[in-house]
Structure 1
Amino acid sequence: MTKIAVLLPAYNEEVALGSIILRSKQYADKVIVVDDGSTDNTTLVAELAGAEVITHPTNLGKGAALRSGFEAAKDMDIIVTIDADAQHNPDEIPDVIKPIQEGQADVVNGSRYITGLDENTPTYRRVGQKVLDKATNISSGLDLTDTQSGFRAFSRESIKYFRFKEEGFGVESEMLSDVAEAGLKIVEVEIGVRYDVDGSTKNPISHGVRVLLHILQEIELKRPLYYFTIPGLVITIFGVILTIIFLNDYLYGSSTTWGPTTASIMMTMFGTFMVFTGIILDSISRMFKQNINKIQ
């Protein structure tokens, strides 16, 4: 019999948490709440609702909460993660775990946008999510429609591949990068979302900026061609065009100063340096991965 655990990282989620736990218990053998340093009654509500509670003395971040939760659920066959702010519907758990149960996936990503724009998502949120989706897909090499979803399912075999180095909200993108790095099979299933009961404690703008900065760091390390070579190529082309224009103006007397030409030449050199930096770092990265694969 497949053993299923539902994991809810929670920070000051006393309002909606009890309902989420009770509804999740219909589909799980165990519901685990990680109270990440809450200052309200999150722990009390979770215990009264019948959840197993792990308590962090201070707020460490979602990544740290997931790390604690995954450790507590390591003996389960499938782990489902759900945000505790009532945006997700626990009744969709059977749909999310089905691909794993049928052997079609190692990881399932619940997506709000498989069929396009979700009408419940505020415009400002979707714009930011699109930016994060694009950056995460570049970093991981995946092609997902909702990279920031907190509603996911994981097989027990997949757990060992997650680093949980990112302690904050960037963990969603980091886990997808780990999935791609390990060659795990991931599929998306459609889920709904509610924002009329938004109990989220995170500011969407600061949250988005922090996640984007984390993703850019991942791209710098894992996709140097995107981080250095492509921007460098754009700068180089722009610099060459400006050099031709300014040099032509100087030679034919339209300009009496050499300054703009010098600046455009320096821009071209800087762009060229970035291009070759990306190529060299990409070669080093590929060699490193090949050596790791040989060792394994």
Structure 2
Amino acid sequence: MYRGKSVAVVLPAYNEEGFVGDVIREMPGYVDRIYAIDDRSTDGTWEEILEAARADANAERPASRSREGEVADRLAVDGGTSALAARAAVRDPIGRVVPIQHRENRGAGGAIKTGYLAALADGTDATVTVDADGQMDLSQMPRLLDPIVEGEADYAKGNRLCFREYRSAMPRFRFVGNAILTFLTKIASGYWKTMDPQNGYTAISGEALEAIDVENLYEYYGYCNDLLVKLNVHGMRVADVTMPAVYGEEESSIAYSEYIPKVSTMLLRNFLWRLKTKHLVLDFHPLALFYLVGAGLAATSVFAVGLTLFAAVAPIETAVQGSSILLLFLGGLAFLLFAMVFDMGESEHLEMQVQ
């Protein structure tokens, strides 16, 4: 328990032998549950999870044992019909660790989804996501939990981009990709002040977890970005928590040449879904129309440029058409900027920064 609230940690692991055991053993004592998800690893990750769970259970952690058995009992009620049972095999808890093994590899987002489903079944007050590679400073966890426990936020996430040493340690291509996805996530989610959306060190309240559609969360690496969009539609408050990154010997398995276009496409779909759901279906706000009109005018101007380039017209006609196309493009840009300003104002009360 942390300040009177139950805390669970979702620990996704894929080929993290040599790292995941240390993360489990070093988990703070106030954590009640650790959902350790093996995403069908091909190394000794599963065995290391079980060994670390036994070592953790033998340690003196009275606070973490207060709810022993609840997860297994609740999951057993659903039997084979539950979404969790259909995607993973859940073993009986070993101390506070619940070992979960995927029936097939589902990716980082898929493992997070499995852990969230388990946390929902257990009725946890706050659920933290921690990578199994040891890159997350566990001593920083209270800074993620405090905004939730104090009722100031429904979701808290780390922000590493404010640290120069983190930015300078990034390969140039990765830094550019991160900057692009950060900007696209701002547009898609409506959280314009939130930075470092790819950061997987997060905490979410039980109420927020119940509000979003966990079973339809994105299962690729862009699950963090996808989650922000869903949180905004439900009016959830987000805390951006400044914290440093931890560097070790682990290597990223993300292929950025595939990751960036794939997540960008997902964000475009999510952006259109957010406009439709939040600003047209659930409520009406003119920013949706500004976005649509602006995009339409800009697209029309681009199409007109193409026609002009391939059409054989007189120089005077070309000049006239060029002026019209420019006005069309500038008009579309103005509509888009107005829409963004409205969007910032709409979600400003849902964002907070924790230094």
- TM norm structure 2: 0.65
The Cα of 1:111 is off from its aligned counterpart by: 0.8
Match of 1:64 among 110, 117, 126: 110
CA pair 249-119 structure 1, distance change in 2 beyond 3 A: closer
- The yes-or-no answer on 1:112 pairing with 2:182 is no
> Can you list the C-alpha shifts for 1:68-110, whole angstroms capped at 9, x where unaligned?
1112122211100012222211121111111112221111011
The Cα of 1:219 is off from its aligned counterpart by: 2.3
Give the AA of the match of 1:21.
I
- TM norm structure 1: 0.77
Match of 1:207 among 253, 259, 271: 259
CA pair 84-208 structure 1, distance change in 2 beyond 3 A: farther
Q: Secondary structure at the match of 2:101?
A: strand
The Cα of 1:146 is off from its aligned counterpart by: 1.0
Distance in 2 (alpha carbons) for counterparts of 1:43 and 1:25 = 21
The Cα of 1:45 is off from its aligned counterpart by: 0.9
Asked if the contact 1:10/1:83 (under 8 Å) is kept, the reply is yes
- The yes-or-no answer on 1:4 pairing with 2:31 is no
- Please name the residue that 1:288 is paired with: none
CA pair 90-226 structure 1, distance change in 2 beyond 3 A: farther
- Please name the residue that 1:136 is paired with: 185
Q: CA RMSD in A?
A: 3.3
Distance in 2 (alpha carbons) for counterparts of 1:83 and 1:226 = 40
- Please name the residue that 1:167 is paired with: 219
Asked if the contact 2:163/2:244 (under 8 Å) is kept, the reply is no
- The yes-or-no answer on 1:99 pairing with 2:102 is no
Q: Secondary structure at the match of 2:18?
A: helix
Distance in 2 (alpha carbons) for counterparts of 1:82 and 1:189 = 15
Runs of at least 5 residues in structure 2 that lack an aligned partner in the other structure: 54-96, 276-287, 340-355
- The yes-or-no answer on 1:16 pairing with 2:64 is no
CA pair 53-222 structure 1, distance change in 2 beyond 3 A: same
Distance in 1 (alpha carbons) for counterparts of 2:290 and 2:132 = 35
Q: Secondary structure at the match of 2:26?
A: helix
Asked if the contact 2:5/2:126 (under 8 Å) is kept, the reply is yes
> Can you list the C-alpha shifts for 1:219-264, whole angstroms capped at 9, x where unaligned?
2433476876444423444638996x9855266xxxxxxxx89xx7
Q: Secondary structure at the match of 1:14?
A: coil
> Can you list the C-alpha shifts for 1:6-27, whole angstroms capped at 9, x where unaligned?
1111111112111111222434
- The yes-or-no answer on 1:150 pairing with 2:208 is no
Give the AA of the match of 1:132.
L
The Cα of 1:129 is off from its aligned counterpart by: 0.8
Distance in 2 (alpha carbons) for counterparts of 1:5 and 1:182 = 23
Asked if the contact 2:13/2:38 (under 8 Å) is kept, the reply is yes
Match of 1:233 among 280, 291, 297: 297
Aligned length: 263
CA pair 236-152 structure 1, distance change in 2 beyond 3 A: same
- The yes-or-no answer on 1:191 pairing with 2:235 is no
Percent identity over paired residues = 29
Give matches, 1:29-68, under 5 Å.
29-50=32-53, 51-68=97-114
Distance in 2 (alpha carbons) for counterparts of 1:235 and 1:96 = 42
Runs of at least 5 residues in structure 1 that lack an aligned partner in the other structure: 252-259, 283-296
Asked if the contact 1:86/1:199 (under 8 Å) is kept, the reply is no
> Can you list the C-alpha shifts for 1:181-208, whole angstroms capped at 9, x where unaligned?
1101111111221344333333233222
Give the AA of the match of 1:234.
A
Asked if the contact 1:106/1:158 (under 8 Å) is kept, the reply is yes
Give the AA of the match of 1:216.
L
Distance in 2 (alpha carbons) for counterparts of 1:218 and 1:103 = 27
Asked if the contact 1:4/1:80 (under 8 Å) is kept, the reply is yes
CA pair 240-65 structure 1, distance change in 2 beyond 3 A: closer
Give the AA of the match of 1:151.
Y
Give the AA of the match of 1:146.
D
Distance in 2 (alpha carbons) for counterparts of 1:112 and 1:231 = 32
Q: Bigger CA drift: 173-182 or 67-76?
A: 67-76
CA pair 38-221 structure 1, distance change in 2 beyond 3 A: same
Asked if the contact 2:134/2:248 (under 8 Å) is kept, the reply is no
